[in-house]
Amino acid sequence: MPVYNRDVARILDQVADLLEIEGADSFRVRAYRNAAQSISTMSREVATMVDEGEDLTEIRGIGESIAEKIEEIVKTGDLGQLAQIEERTPAELTELLDLPGLGPKRVQTLHEELGIETLDDLRDAAERNRIRTVSGLGDRTEARIARELEQRHDEERRTRIDVAEEIVTPLLDYLCGIEGVEQVAVAGSYRRRQETVGDLDLLATGADGEQIIRHFTEYEDVREVISQGKTRSTVRLRLDMQVDLRVVADESYGAALLYFTGSKAHGIALRNMALDEGLKINEYGVFRDDERIAGATEEQIYDLFDLPYIVPELRENRGELEAAAEGKLPELVTVDDIRGDLQIHTTASDGKNTLEEMAAAAQERGYAYLAVTDHSPHVSVTQGLDAEALARRIDEIQELNESFNDFRLLTGIEVDILKDGSLDLPDDILKRLDIVVAAVHSAFNLDREEQTERILRALDNPTVHILVHPTGRRIGERNPRKRPPAEMDMERVMEAAKERGCFLEINASPSRLDLSDAYAKMAGEIGLKLAISTDAHSTTELDFIRYGVDQARRGWFGPDGIVNTRSWSDLKALLKR
């Protein structure tokens, strides 16, 4: 079995999780976390570096000790150290870290006092009201854990879009290399660019379906072949993702792609349109009686109903068919429209690359500007900038700008919104900046009214330009911890931002994608412009911009609704409150 970057990062994260539960030194835990983060964002496979004898300590954040462990993982697919830790601390405990409010110390306490090792153990303890007996928890924490467990029990297992992309890319390359394969595509929620995906649906065309299916089941990452026929197979990959491949005829390819891309609601609406015209539409084509009259391409099918092509991101039955019929489909924003990134971090706070390195990477992308928004000091773990350090940073950026042609670094800060709605830095230093992005990093558990008022008070400050990662959610990952969106009246927040001349962000980091697509669409309907920023903490994370663009497209946004599609002079005018 090959070892990919995601495998290495997963094992290093598991070590960090278990060490943290055991109460190990925080610097040691952080070293594993940083190494996992560096590996997970690399574009080059670390296994290739090991095979070619390259020095892994050249990778940022990786010292000699962890480099040796990475080499062991690449060569054996496992890590002896992890097995040793699991003998002391059950690996299943790491699953508890996914639950909001259960940090390492609480997990260890639950393990020691109640013998809890698994989610089932935790569920049983909640049902028997045992969690409230643990020191420092209580009945409110117990009720919250019970609600979260119930919700997770009902949820389908889903994979974050960036993780799914890592799985899909080599799989598609493999399928395209099979002799006789003519077309291959991924359908489903992946093609609609949802933030998370369930099972993967793949379609292919080719003369010998049986041969294509056989080669598919022989893919090196297949853990289990669930079913195998002449034109269809279902397998389970090592990361527990199920993949279905169907080999279809050329004349049905478009119909199958439309059908399996979904969404279900979009497909039902189309089928009802077909019934109104005496037609039948399914995965094989569009039929009048027994005659297939369309199906080779999706465009052919939409054209049959006098509709323009509807891109997959819009196929959620949120009015796209009506808009298409009226000629009112939006021209959606693309990655090429983005002129700069409005939230990034450097080594001045918790970033991994220097100011100069981030600037060079932005210029390589063809950006006209890059906003340097290191953290303010409120959250100590980010090692943020106080007013004095920020003043020095402004001078440093202004000096560096003198060396650029057709590019500009924007002076900025990601300033914390405190519990009372005030900001973490004084207005006199914030007024000197090109851009101020404000964020909540604490007190997520305020009730809906308190949280809303807190945000509105922050937006009242005339130095604030953009509310970033507005709901504070984190999507289905363990490090940083998964976190549900904070309770707030988002419509009030959006209306207030529009009234004050502020903007909200679509945070393009795949661990956030905040705003959600539904909230993005709400913003567009209100007439509020958005920014798409990566929140990059390294040069490689600037590539996250595509996920934010996907989210904006799902929210029906064109380039005019995104502030950082503009030149710096036009953006500067927009930022004036």
Q: CA-CA distance, 256 to 228, in Å (whole number)? A: 19
Strands (E), 229-321: 232-237, 242-247, 280-282, 285-288, 291-294
* Positive or negative: CA dihedral 275, 277, 281, 284: positive
Instruction: Classify 335-574 by CATH class.
Output: alpha beta
The candidate with the shortest Cα–Cα distance to 537, out of 350, 390, 380, is 350
Q: CA-CA distance, 366 to 273, in Å (whole number)? A: 44
Reported as a single tens digit per residue, the pLDDT across 485-532 is 899 999 999 999 999 999 999 999 999 999 999 999 999 999 999 999
Distances from the Cα of 504 to the Cα of 261, 389, 419, 564, angstroms: 30, 27, 19, 12
Q: Which amino acid is at 573?
A: A
Reported as a single tens digit per residue, the pLDDT across 53-64 is 999 998 888 899
Tokens of 488: 């707030």
Distances from the Cα of 271 to the Cα of 186, 266, 285, 319, 432, angstroms: 22, 9, 11, 16, 58
Outline which parts of the chain fall under CATH 3.20.20.140.
Answer: 335-574
Enumerate residues 6+ apart whose C-beta is below 8 A from 61.
31, 34, 35, 37, 38, 352
Chain position carrying tokens 């500009």 = 408
Provide the pLDDT for residue 476: 67
Instruction: Classify 90-155 by CATH class.
Output: mainly alpha
Q: Is the separation of the CB atoms in 321 and 270 below 8 Å?
A: yes
Provide the pLDDT for residue 478: 42
Outline which parts of the chain fall under CATH 1.10.150.20.
Answer: 90-155
H-run or E-run covering 200:
strand 200-206
Tokens of 352: 């991994």
Q: Would you say domain 1-86 falls under CATH 1.10.150.110?
A: yes
Q: CA-CA distance, 508 to 542, in Å (whole number)? A: 9
Q: Please tell me whether residue 416 adopts helix, strand or coil conformation.
A: strand
Outline which parts of the chain fall under CATH 3.30.460.10.
Answer: 159-247
Please provide the DSSP assignment of 363-411 as one string. HHTT-SEEEE-PBPSSSGGG----HHHHHHHHHHHHHHHTT-SS-EEEE
Q: CA-CA distance, 272 to 59, in Å (whole number)? A: 55
Q: Please tell me whether residue 324 adopts helix, strand or coil conformation.
A: helix
Longest Cα separation, the chain:
77
Please provide the DSSP assignment of 93-161 as one string. HHHHTTSTT--HHHHHHHHHHH---SHHHHHHHHHTT-GGGSTTT-HHHHHHHHHHHHHHHHSPP-EEH
Enumerate residues 6+ apart whose C-beta is below 8 A from 160.
195, 196, 475, 476, 477, 510, 511
Tokens of 342: 């409005």
Specify the CATH superfamily of domain 253-325.
DNA polymerase, thumb domain (3.30.210.10)
Quote the distance between the C-alpha of residue 489 and its chain's center.
Answer: 23
Which residue intervals of 476-567 are DSSP H helices? 490-500, 517-526, 545-554
Sort 563 into a burial class: Cβ within 10 Å, 0-12 / 13-18 / 19+. buried
Tokens of 422: 């005030």
User: pTM of the prediction?
Assistant: 0.82
Outline which parts of the chain fall under CATH 1.10.150.110.
Answer: 1-86
Enumerate residues 6+ apart whose C-beta is below 8 A from 105.
23
Q: Please tell me whether residue 453 adopts helix, strand or coil conformation.
A: helix
Average pLDDT of adjacent 10-residue blocks, the chain of 577 residues: 83 90 87 86 84 89 91 92 89 78 82 86 88 83 80 67 92 94 96 94 94 95 93 91 95 96 93 93 94 96 96 96 96 98 95 95 98 91 88 96 96 97 97 97 91 97 98 69 84 97 97 94 97 96 97 98 98 95
Q: Is the separation of the CB atoms in 449 and 488 below 8 Å?
A: no
Phi, psi of 252 (to 5 degrees): -110, 0
Q: Which CATH number fits domain 159-247: 3.50.50.60, 3.20.20.220, 3.30.460.10, 2.40.128.20?
A: 3.30.460.10
CA atoms within 13 A on the CB side of 45: 12
Provide the pLDDT for residue 480: 41
Strands 340-344 and 369-372: parallel
Phi, psi of 97 (to 5 degrees): -70, -15
Quick one: DSSP state of residue 320?
A: H
Tokens of 133: 């007996």
